[in-house]
Amino acid sequence: MPELPEVEHATAIARRIAVGRTITSVRVLHPSQRRSLPARAAKSLIGDRILEVQRRGKSQRFRLASGRELHVHFRMTGDWLEPGTSELPRTVRAVFGFDDGSRLVLDDPRALSVVSLCASPAADDGLGPDALDPGLTATAFAAALATRRIPIKVALLDQGVVAGIGNIYASEALWRARLDPRTPSNRIDPSALRTLLRAIRTTLTAALKRQERYYNSNATAEEYSRFAVYDREGEPCRRCRSRIKRITQAARSTYYCPKCQH
């Protein structure tokens, strides 16, 4: 589920429910989440108030009145349940209750989500500039990529380069930019890098819009998850009709068009 567009949507849900509210209960149901948010820390949240919820790459930060920060990362399958869900699925991993009776419910079948409490906002979180940050310049992007010789697809997944690009949109953006995912990141010329940065933004903003349409209408998940190359091995490229190829990079699937990506 969660790439940047899904996390953005989840953040909006969390804001609507939690901002301005005081936490009245915290239930951590799975040992995996207990590890990142031990009972002591969970208990200490009670009485604290949520000032703001921000997205940073694919993680969410809840700024608390106490000055602390609650960090939530969905990893592979986490999500906030839409408000109004009465019957909780058995895959619920944590429940935060608020003073107005509302609650924020972490649903995560694989239980890989990380929920942690930080005493203060981390100065350096290891994340690069956010993929949708308008302040991210082509120059900074190029500088971050120049230091490594790893394949560009792998570099895009490195959250320290740019925060927020996941496996799907890395492939999608490279297809849009007509760039071969295997190209070493330090061997891409400035003009191609500008194209790639634009492609990343276009791909992500288009995904955000498609997603909004999906939530506001009765479009199917099928429709929403129609990608140019991702999960389309063997199917025709939308530009040139060649067969989409799948390769493995850094143990993840990469999809690309062998004919029009160079």
Partner DNA sequence: CGCGACCTGCAT
Partner DNA sequence: ATGCAGGTCGCG
Interface residue list for DNA (CB under 7 A): 1-3, 6, 30-32, 35, 57-59, 73, 75-76, 90-91, 109-112, 126, 148-150, 154, 157, 159, 166-168, 225, 248-253
Distance, in Å, from the CA atom of 155 to the CA atom of 143, rounded to the nearest integer, reads: 12
In this complex, which beta carbon is closest to DNA, that of residue 98 or of residue 175? 175
235 near 243, Cβ under 8 Å?
yes
User: Known catalytic residue: 27?
Assistant: no
Q: In the complex, what is the shortest distance from the CB of residue 178 to DNA, in angstroms, rounded to a whole number?
A: 21
Q: According to DSSP H, which parts of 19-82 are helical? A: 31-36, 39-44
Q: Which of 2, 5, 129, 151 is catalytic?
A: 2
Residue 20 to residues 64, 84, 99, 100: CA-CA distances in angstroms? 10, 19, 10, 10
CA atoms of 214 and 219, how far apart (whole Å): 5
Q: Rounded to an integer, what distance in angstroms lies between the CA atom of residue 170 and that of residue 164?
A: 10
> 21 an active-site residue?
no
Question: Is 245 in the active site?
Answer: no
Q: Residue 127 CB, nearest distance to DNA (Å)?
A: 8
C-alpha 129/C-alpha 80 separation (Å) is: 25
Q: Which is nearer to DNA, 68 or 224 (CB)?
A: 224
Q: Which one, of 160, 182, 185, 181, lies nearest residue 171 by Cα?
A: 181
Catalytic hit among 21, 55, 56, 58: 58
Tokens of 171: 């492939």
Is the CB of 140 or the CB of 231 nearer to DNA? Answer: 231
Question: Nearest distance from residue 112's CB to DNA, in Å?
Answer: 5
Smallest separation, CB 166 to DNA (Å): 2
Per the listing, tokens 């690069």 go with 128
Choose, from 68, 75, 198, 252, the residue flagged as catalytic. Answer: 252
> Which CB sits closer to DNA, 92 or 260?
92
258 is catalytic: no
Catalytic residues, by residue number, are: 2-3, 58, 252
